[in-house]
Amino acid sequence: MLPVAELHMHLEGSLEAETLVTLAQRNRISLPSYDPDVLRARYVFDDLQSFLDVYYEHIAVVRTAEDFYDLARAYLTRASAAGVRRAEMFVDLQSHTQRGIAPAAVFEGVSAAIADAESESGISGAVILSFLRDLGPEAAAATLSAALPFRDSFIGVGLDSAEVGYPPSLFEAVYRRAAAEGLHRVAHAGEEGGPDYVWEALDVLGVERIDHGNRAMEDPALVARLRDDRIPLTVCPLSNRALKTGPADLADHILPAMLAEDLLVSIHSDDPAYFGGYVDDNIAAIRDALALDDAQLAQLARNSFASSFLPEEQRSARIAEIDRFAGATESADVRG
């Protein structure tokens, strides 16, 4: 299996319906149904907000360090089976602290899961603290302050939740503080918001990666900037289809246009429990819809490691591994 890095997934979006039921029972929280199939049948969305309403409602079942451990461990086990060798996971800390959960419970549970998954399967994991943009910049600043006692438990900051109406520039001060702390910086931009949000994320927040970025393709000058500065775009095909931020038919997805522009794109799952699959499912769906060949899939996998925050020697080692894998596949094709 082709090794990949998963750089755009929300830990809270990996809460499978079965785990939702288990944790609701463990914590005595009521749900509209205790049948995972009935719960899953609700996963039909009109847009980002209609999804976020369900996502925030469901996360109420995750309360203790043990719950966070179980959630992260389940994701890392599934991701490892999908070929993921590096997972940089968004954690929406505010969606927990708002409910009275202590940051320590979140970080302790997730850090322990990362350590155990790493010793079990060799997967490397990291957390990106993601600010909920619709709660505003003061709440983001307070969240960074609450998280800094756990500075060793996360590697960067991100920006997610409802996009339109909450431009990146609102968060300039908190991103400046994060940079001063030596944290990596990424932001969701151009998912529902326009190219102006992507420009702001780059120029005002100084982000190193854009999450989604699909609408950047509407602005040729921005496309040139992304290409020239090798800014990674973390693209999530099944999410785009489920949230109608992309075409209903993946055959019409924007990915080929991004590749044709020589952008540093890679494929990720966003919220795998809600959008119909993990990173392997996303890769298979886009491969089938666009008839991508092995060389293109290998390039997407190389891009994922090149876009990661792994130390340089580990990035190069993973890319060399893909080169060997791709070479072996080619010679198998020749023989076959």
Residue 233, helix vs strand vs coil:
strand
In the bound state, the residue with its beta carbon closest to ligand ADE is 160
Residue among 88 and 160 whose Cβ is closer to ligand ADE: 160
Catalytic-labelled residue, pool 12, 88, 191, 200: 191
Buried b (16+ CB within 10 A) or exposed e, 18-51: ebbbbbbebeeeebeeeeeeebbeebebeebeeb
Task: Enter the DSSP assignment of 322.
Answer: H
Tell me how far, at minimum, the Cβ of 140 lies from ligand ADE, in Å.
Answer: 14
Give the max Cα distance, the chain. Answer: 61
Pick the binder of Zn ion from 16, 67, 88, 270 (CB under 5 A). Answer: 270
Q: Which stretch binds Zn ion (CB under 5 A): 137-145, 217-225, 255-263, 264-272?
A: 264-272
Tell me how far, at minimum, the Cβ of 72 lies from ligand ADE, in Å.
Answer: 16
Helix axes 136-147, 103-121, angle to 10 degrees: 60
Q: For residue 163, state whether it binds Zn ion (rule: CB under 5 A).
A: no
Residue among 6 and 280 whose Cβ is closer to Zn ion: 6
172 is catalytic: no
CA distance 111 to 153: 6
User: Residue numbers of the site for ligand ADE (CB under 6 A)?
Assistant: 10, 13, 48, 55, 160-161, 188, 191, 239, 270-271
Residue among 96 and 318 whose Cβ is closer to ligand ADE: 96
Tokens 């580990």, residue located: 314
48 binds, among ligand ADE, Zn ion, none (CB under 5 to 8 A by kind): ligand ADE
191 binds, among Zn ion, ligand ADE, none (CB under 5 to 8 A by kind): ligand ADE
Q: Which stretch binds Zn ion (CB under 5 A): 76-84, 268-276, 284-292, 310-318?
A: 268-276
Residue among 67 and 270 whose Cβ is closer to Zn ion: 270
Contact by Cβ (8 Å): 189, 154: no
Task: Enter the DSSP assignment of 9.
Answer: E
For residue 93 the two structure tokens come to 């800390």
Task: Enter the DSSP assignment of 308.
Answer: S
Total residues interacting with Zn ion, rule: CB under 5 A: 1
Contact by Cβ (8 Å): 283, 79: no
> What are the residue numbers of the active site?
191
Residues that bind Zn ion (CB under 5 A): 270
